Chain A
Amino acid sequence: MTRYFTEDHEWIEVDGSTATVGITDYAQSQLGDIVFVEVPGEGASVTKGGEAAVVESVKAASDVYSPVSGIVTEGNPALEDDPALVNSAPEGDGWFFKLTIADTGELDGLMDESAYKDFVAGL
């Protein structure tokens, strides 16, 4: 399994043609206490760079973009009752959705972990 990152602070963990998407620890720290998360349902079609989920904190509401195109296989049901999971475990239990990747070639432009660390350090 390989993990990639976007400049919009989403992560995507790829396992063959399926993947899990969430927002990074940096993203949750900037948002502050998260109070509401809306994730896409099974069967939803998402496009690379398109709006896929919504996250709302005490400070702001933000869109979460899909790092790649594909069909959603599952939205994280735990986030409805416990949005704080995104604060406590953004890159673990606080995942947003799983999807089947339409074109793994779309992963090419994404950052790996060390590149993302450098990217965040430069912000």
Chain B
Amino acid sequence: MNAPNQSGWRPTMTLDRRDGGGTATGNRALMLEEPLIFEIGNTHTCGVDLPEPSTRANRLGGMARESEIGLPGLSEPETIRHYTRLSRQNYAIDLGLFPLGSCTMKHNPRLNEKVARMPGFLDVHPLQPVDTVRGALEVINELAVWLIELTGMHGVAMTPKAGAHGELCGILCIRAALEARGDPREVILVPESAHGTNPATAAFAGYRVENIPATAEGRVDLEALKARLGPDVAGVMITNPNTCGLFERDMKAISDAVHAAGGLVYCDGANFNAIVGRVRPGDLGIDAMHINLHKTFSTPHGGGGPGSGPVVLSEALAPYAPLPFVTRRADGTVELIEEENAGAEHPHTFGRMCAFHGQMGMFTRALAYILSHGADGLRQASGDAVLNANYILRSCEDLLDAPFGASGPCMHEALFSDKDFAEGLSTLDLAKGMIDEGFHPMTMYFPLVVHGAMLVEPTETESKAGLDQLILALRSLAERARSGDESLKTAPHFAPRRRLDETLAARKPVLAWDGPLAPAGTPTLSEQGGS
């Protein structure tokens, strides 16, 4: 496997013989070189033996494929080994601390998985007769009741499938409410530290986005916000706690001012995990807020999903919530509200966000997390998450600049900048150094309002011993960055791959294999001795 692949790039593990020797295979004990799957298999082998079909009548007409499909053929063990080897080069929350700020990579309790795999939840289909899925509807309703209770809101739309989907749901509720009162407005105000999805959501829903500045201490500038409010402002989108890791203390005053000007308040609840059991967004005057079940309530995420983003709604917005949803009757039964029966029950709905009921697998996991923690446990989890972040902030701020360190305690994430690094060293270099130290890097260059931002979120998952290991690594790397350690510029040094060319990957991405497959007669892995 020595030919360069399509990108022109070739692994360097075999060439980098710092010990002077290297190995014949390129492997280093359990650190295994692994070619692309297209370089292992070939089109002339097949993983399974199937008889030739007796009839091969072509019913595709001119649409029939004339060339080879070009998929590599591998046996089952070869396929399993390929992906298992790749997975061993990955980093996961089950391997160690995952300090990816704003992403909330917390432990996924195995109890959640056990519950989610119960056949009554696992094997249901959204088109089953309602009478056969009463238990699943009970779960949706029970979770909805908890979310309303924890947020002090009036209703909840359970169907949105992720945070940004929830944002869109909330903003569409705001649009529907404003249009219903004959007062469509044009502008959504968004603080400059907002998640990038906030302005994208507002623009997608047809609003013009305007920024609100932050104060020097990293919070929304209330006076600037008040000055901008007017009859054209549909609402604001504010993340609380915000992306600088700070609680927006003026939230109630912000809500009151927006309401007085006839607007509505959307809160990005991505950071709700910091305040569960301590603050109820409904008490802060918030009209809509999505909850990332996959962050706050520990359902698994990363690698693109699956998420789940239910939206809690105020009394003003609840009538516009999307279909379908479940509701409990006076006689104790739960009922599904869909188009057929919405006319009488829910006439103002703006429509649907998705075909069915949302992420059922996430609902069962989130409810298992909530019920196993209980009210006191949820409150302790948010407290521990904040305590852990403050422990990191105060343990590192003498070496790593903390731009809002003087603004009081942080919430669930600690924010640092590259201000004190030596000339030529940047946040990227420190993050690459984290890989050598055995950690997934933190979130970098976000929020944009801080130069060379490093956003560290430990979550409540970590023990003090685990946090001390991270702090040891961060302090060592900070000292190297401050002293101008040249070797940090080429980190990582101990990973299977050295520093990758991210710029080339972004400018000239190779997204599909269109190179030659291994020629016929190429020995498969097992024929090579299973190396």
Residues of A within 8 A of B (CB): 33, 35-36, 58-61, 83-84
Contact = CB atoms under 8 A, between A and B. Distances in A.
B502 A58 contact: yes
B503 A58 contact: yes
Contact of A33 (B444, B446, B503): B503
Nearest to A123: B451
5 contacts: A33-B502, A35-B507, A58-B502, A60-B446, A60-B448
Contact of B503 (A35, A60, A61): A35
A60 B446 CA distance: 8
Contacts, number: 19
Interface of B: 196, 444-446, 448, 502-503, 506-507
Nearest to B199: A63
A86 B374 CA distance: 55
A28 to B, nearest CB: 13
B506 A60 contact: no
B445 A35 contact: no
Contact of A36 (B445, B446, B448, B506): B506
Contact of B507 (A59, A60, A84): A84
A22 B474 CA distance: 38
A16 to B, nearest CB: 32
Given A35-B507, A59-B445, A84-B507, 16 more contacts: A33-B502, A33-B503, A33-B506, A35-B503, A35-B506, A36-B506, A36-B507, A58-B502, A58-B503, A58-B506, A59-B444, A60-B445, A60-B446, A60-B448, A61-B196, A83-B507
Sorted nearest first, the 4 A-B pairs with minimum C-beta distance are A35-B506, A33-B503, A59-B445, A35-B507
Nearest to A63: B199
A37 B181 CA distance: 41
Contacts of A35: 503, 506-507
Q: Which of B196, B446, B502, B503 has the most CB of A within 10 A?
A: B503
Contacts of A61: 196
A88 to B, nearest CB: 13
Nearest to B452: A59
A59 B502 CA distance: 10
Contacts of B446: 60
Nearest to A83: B507
A17 B207 CA distance: 33
A60 B447 CA distance: 10
A84 B503 CA distance: 10
A83 B448 CA distance: 21
A95 B208 CA distance: 27
A61 B446 CA distance: 11
A37 B502 CA distance: 17
Contacts of A33: 502-503, 506
A82 to B, nearest CB: 9
Contacts of A36: 506-507
Contacts of B444: 59
Contacts of B506: 33, 35-36, 58
Nearest to B209: A51
B212 to A, nearest CB: 16
A123 to B, nearest CB: 9
A60 B449 CA distance: 12
A84 B502 CA distance: 13
B403 to A, nearest CB: 14
Q: Which of B445, B446, B448, B507 has the most CB of A within 10 A?
A: B507
B430 to A, nearest CB: 14
B164 to A, nearest CB: 15
B186 to A, nearest CB: 15
Nearest to B503: A33
Contacts of B448: 60
A92 B506 CA distance: 23
B267 to A, nearest CB: 24
Contacts of B502: 33, 58
Contacts of A60: 445-446, 448
A49 to B, nearest CB: 11
A97 to B, nearest CB: 21
Contacts of B507: 35-36, 83-84
A58 B427 CA distance: 13
Contacts of B503: 33, 35, 58
Contacts of A83: 507
